[in-house]
């Protein structure tokens, strides 16, 4: 942001667009400069409101672990896993060759 006016300039928007490899026309530069000003102003206001006595939060309500406990259980045998495969060879899934790899 410009230090003198506090508003983001068209030149800064054009620079950001170049960095992001975005093609931006003159009309879009004006629109994006206005939009970025609003966004930066809102972020600045949030920074003003944040107080040292308010702990930072990541969620509005407390979360608890919703995962089930890890328990060992029997998995599929090799035959069961391959039973639904369209093609199997030497105990493995047979898939089409890709990327010109040699067998």
6 pLDDT tier (thresholds 50, 70, 90): low
* CA-closest candidate to residue 12, choices 30, 94, 96: 30
96 pLDDT tier (thresholds 50, 70, 90): confident
Global pTM reads: 0.44
Write phi, then psi, for 83 (nearest 5 degrees): -65, -30
Domains of the chain: 10-48 (1.10.20)
* CA-closest candidate to residue 43, choices 35, 55, 32: 35
CA distance 2 to 32: 15
- Per-residue model confidence (pLDDT) at position 103: 56
CA distance 63 to 58: 10
């Amino acid at each position: 942001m410009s230090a003198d006016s506090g508003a983001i300039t068209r030149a800064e928007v054009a620079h950001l667009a170049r960095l992001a490899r975005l093609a931006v026309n003159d009309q879009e530069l004006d629109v994006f400069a206005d939009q970025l000003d609003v966004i930066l102003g809102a972020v600045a206001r949030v920074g003003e409101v944040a107080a040292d006595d308010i702990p930072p939060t990541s969620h509005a309500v407390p979360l608890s672990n919703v995962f089930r406990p890890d328990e060992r259980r029997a998995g599929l045998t090799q035959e069961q896993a391959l039973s639904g495969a369209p093609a199997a060879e030497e105990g493995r899934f047979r898939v089409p060759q890709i990327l010109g790899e040699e067998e």
